[in-house]
Amino acid sequence: MKILSFQSGLHDASAAAFEDYGLVAAVQEERLRREKGWGDDVPWLAIDEVLRIAGWARNDVDVIALIRGVFPLHYFSFSLPRDLYYTVRKHVGRERLNRDLSHAMIRTGLDDRHLFRSDRFLAENGFRNDAKLHFVNHHEAHALAALFFTDWDDALVYTADGVGDNVSYSVRTLQGGELKCLFGGDEWLKRKRAPRNSLATAYGLATKAAGFRMWRHEGKLTGLSARGEPKLRDALARHFRLGADGLIACDFTSWRMMEKHIHAICRGHSRETMAASIQQLVEDLISGAVGHWLSRTKAKRLALAGGLFANVRLNRLLAETLPIEEIFIYPAMGDDGLAVGAALCYLRDRDGTDAWLRQRRRLDNVYLGQDFDSRIDAVLADAPDVERVPGNPVELATRLVEHGAAGAVFVGRMEHGPRALGARSIIANPTDPTINDLLNQRLDRSEFMPFAPYVLEEDAARVFEITPVNRYAARFMTITCAVRPEWRARIPAVVHVDDTARPQIVRDADNPLFAAILRRFRDRTGIPVLINTSFNVHEEPIVNRPEECRRALVDGRVDFVVTRQAVYLTKRAMAEFHAAIGDEAKRASPASAAAPALSAAETGR
């Protein structure tokens, strides 16, 4: 069965394609529109992209699984006068406004089947009239995305975000083959007002108070939090509490009231103080809430999703202080992961829990976007200021990094989710303490934005405090951990001020080029770590297409680009790093320069 799924919320819209339980593709709309965090409408570019990857047309789709998100108003069932009003607006060319389906359900008391015009949506957009639309709960989609990619027989599944389907949290358990929702299901859609108790929203408002953009720059506050003192924690905590029932409550009656109070508390204080204070509050309350449910359910494994768990410091605290055997955070933990979760909700509803549980598996990677390997080399070689360097790309890239160059890896399919994980990553030497400032300047990033390391699977535990609890999560850069004392001074560019790092554990089978460069660097220098930061300029989405990669190289954002086939530098960078590439280039014959450069031995396969 061909399943298209998407989420059209206020931000981070995305789409996915499934062939039954096989996840074929998943793409965020922002990567195609080139507008970071894009949302507030149906993600048509992402929809067509995942269908293109799957080799399907719209009329091939059997089922559309989707969140109760934002849609043009003429897909809603209204009274006759209002329907005529929007028909007239369309006729005269006025832009139609959109509406959130879950909000409409709360206001009208109607369910999605009666409120949404599925027949019109299918007919107007090229789908078969017998295709099925299946709406799913927001937090259940978060939860099932996290649970599906585990092989556990017992688990606590906890979600937390701004608000979705009228709640900001959900709690589910898997025990004895039974999946139960303990809090946060569709019953909340029958209530006219959601509780204003979202710590994710509070964190976003603190981000706004610090002068950053809400729902966009929360990671900046996480980075700053280790640099400040939580002086405002108690003032913030007077408005929030953890109930005896394990649920977070607060005394705000509206989001506007929450914003007013948080801004008043933060006024006049440094960004570092704001960041440390809201971070401490969130850590205290979430660890208390999750700890309550672990104790109550006796679960030993913890699955997390929802935008709040993009907070890697929080995830570390949960992993290291709670009595659990393993933690997993779905890599696309924010609303960009809801498209995957929506399809998994449909499959569970179609097949039943027992059959669904038997299909679960651990996640190998999230390389789920378009593969441009067949185009990237021609696009780079076509640029007038770019030159292809003859020789082995692994050896060339390694030598360049060793000599201080910052390069981009552009290989295979685009990553899904907020992290660059080796398909569209910038790599650099972690031993250089000045590289952070230099790269941040080139990428127009804030000076305190931390870089992350990547490390081979066989080296991870000797450099970082990797344990059975956090190892799976660390494969997707969703958690921080301590850097072992003997390595902190040797790799200063990836060590945070609290002596932690956010590593990505790399396996050869998942990304042979990425792994091969690191292995060669380790063998040459004795350093088993390289910087991995996302291949993007501040406020732009991660590079997706070859043309965006070429522009970044020509603009000097990076010194070189390495593909499966070759290394490319601008003429300026060629001159600057002549010594690093000279010997390797001289050894390369014309034949070897034109031939595929990665053998099985070189990639580690």
Query: What would the pLDDT profile of 499-513 be if each residue is shown by its tens digit?
Result: 999 999 999 999 999
For the chain, the straight-line distance linking the first and the last C-alpha, in angstroms and rounded, comes to 33
pLDDT confidence of residue 447: 72
pLDDT confidence of residue 579: 86
Q: What's the mean pLDDT in 278-285?
A: 98
- Computed over every residue of the chain, the mean pLDDT equals 93
Amino acid at 186: D
pLDDT confidence of residue 25: 98
pLDDT confidence of residue 418: 97
Residue 390 clears pLDDT 70, i.e. is over it: yes
Q: Which range, of 74-88, 146-160, 420-434, averages the lowest pLDDT? A: 74-88
What CA–CA distance (Å, rounded) separates 38 from 15?
13
pLDDT confidence of residue 84: 52
Residue 541 clears pLDDT 60, i.e. is over it: yes
Q: Which range, of 191-205, 287-301, 545-559, averages the lowest pLDDT? A: 191-205
Amino acid at 324: I
Domains and CATH numbers, the chain: 2-137 (3.30.420), 150-329 (3.30.420.40), 368-603 (3.90.870.20)
Q: Which range, of 93-102, 302-311, 337-346, 365-374, averages the lowest pLDDT? A: 93-102
DSSP 541: P
pLDDT confidence of residue 591: 36
Asked if 505 and 405 count as a contact pair (C-beta separation under 8 A), the reply is no
Asked if 468 and 320 count as a contact pair (C-beta separation under 8 A), the reply is no
pLDDT band at 602 (very low <50, low <70, confident <90, very high): very low
What CA–CA distance (Å, rounded) separates 476 from 412?
17
Residue 60 clears pLDDT 70, i.e. is over it: yes
What CA–CA distance (Å, rounded) separates 588 from 393?
11
Percent of the chain with pLDDT strictly greater than 90: 88
pLDDT confidence of residue 81: 47
pLDDT tens track for 546-577 = 999 999 999 999 999 999 999 999 999 999 99
pLDDT confidence of residue 87: 56
pLDDT confidence of residue 585: 62
Alpha carbon separation from 404 to 48, 315, 430, 489, 495 (Å, rounded) = 40, 33, 10, 18, 18
